[in-house]
A and B are shown apart, each in its own frame.
Chain A
Amino acid sequence: AQSVTQLDSQVPVFEEAPVELRCNYSSSVSVYLFWYVQYPNQGLQLLLKYLSGSTLVKGINGFEAEFNKSQTSFHLRKPSVHISDTAEYFCAVTLYNKLIFGAGTRLAVHP
């Protein structure tokens, strides 16, 4: 069965510092991987996705993620965060018609 583990429930960071949000998955088949962001009282917005090809994926708002098949990871990174990046971040994998979400990581950016 497929599952997604987000290793940190909360990540506090200062503005302009780099950040990495960790995501590991387990699957016996090829997967497609996603990162979504949810700002307070809003829906989910697609940040980036990996379907195939280059393992380094660039998304919106300066975020990028690297697919590592050997380590079954898809960590999200940003070199310099802003206050406006404060949000909940969800890693997800697809299984046929379904998105399997991780528990989420709360990124809190402090001035």
Chain B
Amino acid sequence: DTEVTQTPKHLVMGMTNKKSLKCEQHMGHRAMYWYKQKAKKPPELMFVYSYEKLSINESVPSRFSPECPNSSLLNLHLHALQPEDSALYLCASSQETGSLDNTQYFGPGTRLTVL
């Protein structure tokens, strides 16, 4: 089973709202990732969690706040977003960072629209 699930599938929010994106995997993976993908572009890495600790933050604005409550769950808390933050947000997981086979498996994404 190589399934990563994400909820919600779609999200529309105003610039003053607070919302959260959720990601879950049950593959026993110890690394989880958040990506942002704009139309017709490749995914851009935002955050990496390894063994439930934040290991990489790609200089993401603080209006995006990641959280890893346990090894299966990854959240992305959103607050005071801008219209340019509208994008497809993808979650991925892999066995662990630094291993020989660090294949990342992606979820279906959350389509976010900021009004």
Shortest Cβ distance from residue B20 to the other chain A in the assembled complex, whole angstroms: 19
Q: Which of A17-25, A61-69, A95-103 lies at the interface with chain B?
A: A95-103
In the bound complex, CA of A60 to CA of B103 (Å): 15
Across-interface contacts of B56 in A (CB, < 8 A): 97-98
The docked-state distance in angstroms from the alpha carbon of A36 to that of B105 is: 10
Contact A51 B101 (CB under 8 A): yes
The count of chain A contact residues (Cβ–Cβ below 8 Å) is: 21
CB distance from A11 to the nearest CB of B (A): 15
The smallest beta-carbon distance between A66 and chain B, in angstroms, is 19
Near B by CB (< 8 A), chain A positions 61-111 give 90, 94, 96-99, 101-104
Q: Provided the pairs A42-B109, A44-B90, A104-B42 are in contact, do residues A99 and B101 lie with their beta carbons within 8 angstroms?
A: no
Question: A29 to B90, alpha carbons, bound, how many Å?
Answer: 28
A51 touches B42 (CB 8 A): no
Closest 4 CB pairs of A and B: A101-B42, A97-B97, A44-B106, A43-B108
